[in-house]
Amino acid sequence: MSGYPWAAFGQGVGPGAAAALAVMLIAFAVAVVRGLHRIVDIAWGLGFTAVALVSYGASAGQGDDVRRLLVTVLTAVWGLRLAGHIAARGRGHGEDPRYEAMLAKAPGHRNLYALRMVYLLQGLLVLLVSLPVQAAQYIPGRTGPVAYAGCALWLTGLFFEAVGDQQLARFRADPANKGRLMDRGLWSWTRHPNYFGDFCIWWGLFLIVCDAPAVAAATVVSPLVMSYLLINGSGKRLLERHMADRPGFAEYTARTSGFFPRPPRES
């Protein structure tokens, strides 16, 4: 494999940053008009999709076409599925309690605080986490077996996300389950199949850049940051804090893995 074009990659980060910013600013404008900042959750997946597509266009004539198309399609499929799922889940609902609690304590103007602390921050995270997607566009040489292993891990992640979301939606749609905890299907193997799926998605995408060890070393921060967010940041830890007082939650945690799937323990 010939040398990596670091200068071209660096120039390509600019359009990616502009794409992430544009998605977040559009989402902010829509949220202000509708009075619902939960819209930013839809923009999360759309932001990654936009960065992948813009990076693909900006890297034309660079890198391996198979790798470029592969990483772009995988990112876009994940981002669009997630955005569509969140949009459907939130239809007809009011503000997300997380944002309501945050903005209730906002110093100064509520919307400007949301712009700084939610939209612009998430835009920066989109840019940071998507670095492997952007960097993969410029890697010369054929796509190797490690990249295809990354595709397999990506498929595992998509399975856990999509199936877990479908199982939870079907469970919640049954009035007989009102007030009950979802502990069936994938949710009996891990308390967070969707977050575990995200974990696999981003480590899978990272493996696609591992054909170039120097590029992998420069971008490994991205899946590490996403893993931290999923496990210790705004994902698992925050959600379980809200669920801690629900009836049966202690028993559920005792028998079900907190993140990585395993068979449930006997009660």
State how far the Cα of 93 lies from the Cα of 35, in Å rounded to an integer.
12
pLDDT score at 98: 80
Q: Identify the CA nearest to 83 among candidates 53, 48, 42.
A: 42
- pLDDT tens string 140-149: 999 999 999 9
Distant-in-sequence, close-in-space partners of 197: CB < 8 Å, separation ≥ 6? 156, 157, 158, 159, 160, 161, 162, 164
Q: Which residues of the chain have pLDDT under 50?
A: none
23: amino acid identity, one letter: V
109 touches 201 (CB < 8 A): no
pLDDT score at 39: 94
134 touches 49 (CB < 8 A): no
233-247: burial string, b at 16+ Cβ within 10 Å, e else: eebbeeeeeeeeeee
- CA 25, distance to chain mean position in Å, is 19
pLDDT score at 100: 84
pLDDT score at 237: 85
State how far the Cα of 90 lies from the Cα of 77, in Å rounded to an integer.
20
H or E element at residue 118: none
Q: Report in angstroms the alpha-carbon separations of 225 from 46, 65, 128, 133, 208.
A: 19, 28, 8, 15, 17
Q: CA 87, 93, 97, 103 torsion: positive or negative?
A: positive
Give pTM, 2 decimals: 0.93
Residue whose token pair is 């799937």? 261
pLDDT score at 2: 57
